[in-house]
Each structure stands twice: as structure tokens, then as C-alpha cells.
Structure 1
């Protein structure tokens, strides 16, 4: 391939790095398809174990049932808890976000478990242990009879969630389980393309997720809502922020040119959360005014609500600490990362893009 300086796509925009059956993002139509189904349909009719079974089955070309995934993840959570002293040894002195990275990197194969299950099952155990340690408490042991969403909430919060809370987190886990060739998934596939194992691939994916341009925006959404404070302050605060050229968190997306379809799925989940403490009317007024203000400021550039806006509200309503938002995202996305890594190992080749040299020549 001949590179023409000035015509090289910056950031690999529009370049297909792989063929996949796992997920498809249509930015013009505002559609996300995961393993053949629309995200809204999956969120309405499939739990996290179900969507994980779809992803792993599609990636490996083996039929993996939901019941099998549920049993494997339950066993993997128990195995990870037994190994917590070893895993947490690598996290001393680190924040929850950085400690999660170190603990995931310390994972290794477990007898009787596929590596996919070992990784996905360990993620909520690690996240819960780090949150409890930050509170000065002991880790909460997993419950093999609980769903992945229910056990995640138990271990992170240290109490027993109600059905509505479990359903809300389950919807979140399904909704963000995979999302095309995003930065973290691409990182995982690049590592997998070298035939490195899934543990190295997922560690790379999580490292990419921690960057503020990928998975780091939900917490600033809450900071923005707190700064606005009252309904009377919505217009003056937003107008002032836009006049200073500040980015409004939770709006705009690299791919979507219309509303992020995941935003409405999570909004519906919040509406079903009875007594959650989330002030959805206030957040909705903020969202509505920001969308109007952005259209007026940049009519030629569509900046609509993205998944991070309602992610922040949902996770906060579930009483998940803000410092754990990124690890909780990883609890969900680990299903997609492991599937993409397997697919890359099975069907792909070494990912080795070219670059356009613009330096001096001898």
C-alpha cells in the first residue's frame, strides 16, 4: 500500500483493522448490534451471562450456553477470592483504579476453567476487594448462587442489593459489554494478534480504558451536575462553560453522529430504579438544555448525549463509589475483550499498521 502524505487517516479513522462477528456500531443511524442483536433488545431480554454466552459462542464458533457461563463465572469468582491475598499483594499503595490494573495483570490460568471465565469472574472480586480495603473493611466473599450482577453489587457495597438494583446493574453490564473497535478493544486485539494470552490482552485493554478519552468520563459527569447544583443555575452555568470553550462531559462521541443508543437503555434502567435517590428530572433538564445549547453553538457539529451521562447517574444511584466506576466498566467490558482476543487469535493476523514518516530524511 502506498501512503500519500496529507491523505493518511489520522487515528486510523475509517480503517478496518479486523473482521468481526461480535459487535457493530452504526454512528450515522445510532445503532449498536452485539452478536446479532440490538443492544436495547439484549438489555430487555438477556442478562449479563446471556450476552457473555453470545459473545464467547460467536468468538470461538462453539455453542456456549448461558447456564454454562453462569456456572463458570460462579466458580471463577470463588477461585479469585481464594487467591485474593496473592492478587492484592501487587496493589499495595495503589488507588482502586490502578490497583485493579495490577491485580488483573497478576491473574493466571485456573485448572478446570477457560481463561475467559477466569478473567471475567475475577473482575468483580478484585473490584469489590479494593473498594472494601479503601473503606478499611475485609473483602466480601462471593455467593455462587447469585448472578454476576448481584454478586458484583454485594462484593462492592458489602450489603445485599434488592431486585431492582440488581436488574439495573445487569442492564448496565449488558449495555457496555462490547462496543465495536473502541480503543480498549483494539488494544486487546493488538496484543492477542501476537498470540499473547488472554491475560496480557485484557490487561492491555484495561490500561486503554483508564484514559480520560475512553472510560474516564462518568465521574466528571457527576462533578458537573454537582457544580450546577440547582435548576436555576443550569442555563448560566452551561452558558459560561461553553463561552470558556470547556468540554461538557457526557456529550459527543467519536463514532455516533446522533444519540448514543446506550444512553436511552440506561435512562430506562434508572427510571425503573425505585427509591434510588437519583434526581432524574434534574439530570434530564440539564441534558435537555445542554443539547439545545450545543446545537445553537455548533449547528454543523452534532454533539448528543452519550452513554457516560446516564452511566454516571446509574452507578451513583447504585451507591457504587466513584473511584470504582472504571473497574465496574471493566467488569462488563471484560466479556467483550476476552471474546475479541479469542476471535483475533482464531481468525486474525499480526496487527502491524504502517505510519506516515514526516521527519527529516538523510
Structure 2
């Protein structure tokens, strides 16, 4: 039997939340194509779907939006705590500590509740923005209840009412971050929850996994590549030089998807209104088209397409978000999937207790009793 490492190919459980089929390029949320949801529904609608198994009607959506707007407020004790962290503490660790601190009596019950999921999802962007503005020497802002989830996040970060095209692009990105099967962070969250620990503890475990560069590494290298290319004229010679030297083109190809990443497809549609309005975004689109043509020339049949990291880089750079909040922003999207999985785990819980194969030495002789 072939040695299995990293549990690759091992089925760890059943879920009704999402399907990832890399060979076919499918990403499904609760029976809907994720790429269609991203361009046709709001963040709140898709969150409701993942939590409840169906899309909301108008009244249910209005109730969820009102509840999320109310839960955006950061408790005063948590603001004081955030202010005490040295600037050198990475934002993901600050976020993990903040979620742990939110585990007051209401949030440490078993089983976890949907209300807890809504609270964590609503407040996470506010915590990220609070910390980000403090690090920039700026005063944190209060949320605007009339703004939707994505729009309010942009407002809290920038202090400006965001353009509709930017809201649409960020909302699509956050929706496509929500769920991606039994990935490392989702599995970590389910494992913690399976001990009958609480939702905050489980989300802290998930954030810890997301912090690792092999999982939640933000598209820094894509942005570095785009900045190094600099202009449309330099794109082809830069890319050819990289391929001639065996350098991997960042943002192309995916460990799971062997066709075009469906998340990249959706983001391509969601960002149409940004074309021609931002030079860095237009450069990214030119680099994408040039790179795909060159990859087919240099590596025919390899099926190397644009992945979600490439479009994430293009969007986040166009929105002028600082690199330090890329992975936290990914986390602000994925928390919906985490909490949906946590609720699903609790509904039919059994503690995770896999076996291991001992490969160490044995004692020289048996112990005689």
C-alpha cells in the first residue's frame, strides 16, 4: 500500500456544505455554483445559504443584514486589548487573540449556535480594520449600518464611501473565499469543535491553520511579480525570461484545479467594471492573457490557468489595501465556511481520533510482570 502523507485522499467526513472537484473545475455551495453566486448574490445572501442550506427570502435577508450590522460593534474591553498589542505582533495573531477574547459566557456554550456564527462573521472585519488603522496612526471608525458587509469593510479601512465597482469586486472575492471543502483550516476547526469545545475556540484553531503560508499565504508573490513587470510593454519579455529560466509564474496553476479555477472565472466577471479605471488592474489583465499564451507555448498540454490568487492580487492592489491585511481579509471571507462546518460538526458530532503508525524503536525485550 502506498504511503499516505498529509491525509491526502483520505475522506474525513461527510458534508452538505460544499464540493470541490478539481478535475472538472467545480466549486459548489449547497447545490449552487459558487461562481454564479459570487456575481449574482450579496455576501449576506451566500452566508445565509451556507449556514441554513437555502437562500433567504426578502424578510430573512433583511433580518440577517440588521443582525450583522448590530454585531459589528467591537466591545470596549476588546478595543482596549487591541490597543495593548505591540505593533510587531502579526495581525493574524492579533485576530486569533481577539476571537479568543470574544469567548465570553454567551459564546462558550455547547452546542454552538447560529447566533454565535453571525456575531463572529460580522465583527471580524471591524477588528481587522480597527487594528489596521491603529497601525497607520489613524483613528478607527464606527461602522455605518446602512452599508452592506463588503462596503462597510472598505469604509472602515479607508474612511471613504467605496465605489460600487470596488464593492462588487470585493464582495465576489469574499464570497469565493467562504468555502473550499475540507481544507486545513476548516479541518482544524472541526477537530477542535469535535472535542465539544466552543465555537470561538474552534475558530481560533482555524485561524492558526490559516496563518501558515502553505494555506493562507496571501498573493504577495503575485503582486511582487506585477510590480516588477511594471508596464504592458515589459510583460512579454519579463514572462519569457522567467520561463526560459525555469521560474514559476505566480498566480497560474493550482494544486487542486486542473482546469481554470472557477473562482478566477467569477472574479473575472465581477471585475469587468474596473477595467479601464485602474492602471494596475489593466496591467494585471494584460499579464494574465500574455502568460496563458506563453504557458501553452512553453508547456503545452499542462493546463496551467489563472488561479484565484492572481485575481485576488489584482483586486486587492486596485483597492489599495496594504499587504498586511491580505490574509486577514481572506479570513474574513472564510469564517462563514468555518462556522457552517462547525455547526454541521456539532449536529452529528464524534471526536476526531485518527490512528498513527509507530515507526520508532522497540524495547530490546518484553517486560516480564
Q: TM-score, normalised by structure 1?
A: 0.89
**Alpha carbons 2:193, 2:199 under 8 Å: kept:** yes
Partner in structure 2 of residue 17 of structure 1:
12
Q: Is residue 45 from structure 1 mapped to residue 46 from structure 2 by the alignment?
A: no
- Cα deviation digits, residues 228-249 of structure 1 (max 9, x gap): 2233433343344345544332
Residue 229 (structure 2) pairs with residue 234 (structure 1): no
6, 31, 55: which one pairs with 2:26?
31
3-state SS in 2 of match to 1:10: coil
Residues 1-362 of structure 1 mapped to structure 2, 5 A cutoff: 4=1, 7-58=2-53, 65-78=60-73, 80=74, 82-89=76-83, 91-93=85-87, 94-109=89-104, 114-273=115-274, 276-299=277-300, 301-362=302-363
In the TM superposition, residue 102 of structure 1 has moved relative to its aligned partner by 2.5
How much has 1:50 moved relative to structure 2?
A: 0.5
Deviation at 1:152, TM superposition (A): 0.6
Closer/same/farther in 2, CA of residues 35 and 273 from structure 1, 3 Å limit: same
Deviations 1:266-290 (A, max 9, x none): 1222221366424444323322333
Structure showing greater radius of gyration is 2
Question: Does the Cα contact within 8 Å between 2:218 and 2:309 map onto a contact in 1?
Answer: yes
Match of 2:204, SS? helix
Contact 1:105 1:200 in 2 (8 A): yes
User: What is the TM-score of this pair, normalised by structure 2?
Assistant: 0.87
Q: 1:102, 1:296 → 2: CA distance?
A: 48
Residues 26 and 18 of structure 1: CA distance in aligned 2, closer, same or farther (over 3 Å): same
- CA distance in structure 1 between the partners assigned to 2:210 and 2:41 by the alignment: 25
Query: How far does residue 126 in structure 1 lie from its aligned partner after superposition?
Result: 0.7
Higher mean C-alpha displacement, 147-156 vs 102-111: 102-111
Q: Is the 8 A contact 1:90 1:102 kept in 2?
A: no
- Please report how far the alpha carbon of residue 73 of structure 1 lies from its aligned counterpart in structure 2 after TM superposition: 1.2
> 1:305 Cα shift?
1.4
1:330 offset after TM fit, Å?
A: 1.1
Shift of 1:85: 2.0
Gaps of 5+ in 1: none
Deviation at 1:223, TM superposition (A): 0.8
Alignment root-mean-square deviation, CA: 2.4
Residues of 1 paired with 2:188 and 2:298: CA distance? 35
Instruction: Report the alpha carbon displacement of residue 301 of structure 1 after superposing the two structures with TM.
Output: 4.3
* Deviations 1:279-326 (CA, angstroms, capped at 9, x unpaired): 444323322333344445554644321101001111221222221111
Task: Report SS of the residue matched to 1:143.
Answer: coil
> Unaligned 5+ residue runs, structure 2?
108-113, 364-369
Shifted more, 133-142 versus 279-288: the winner is 279-288
Q: Distance in 2 between matches of 1:294 and 1:214?
A: 25
Instruction: Detail structure 1 runs of 4+ shifted over 6 Å in the superposition.
Output: none
- 1:193-215 CA-to-partner distances (Å, cap 9, x unmatched) read 11211111111112222222222
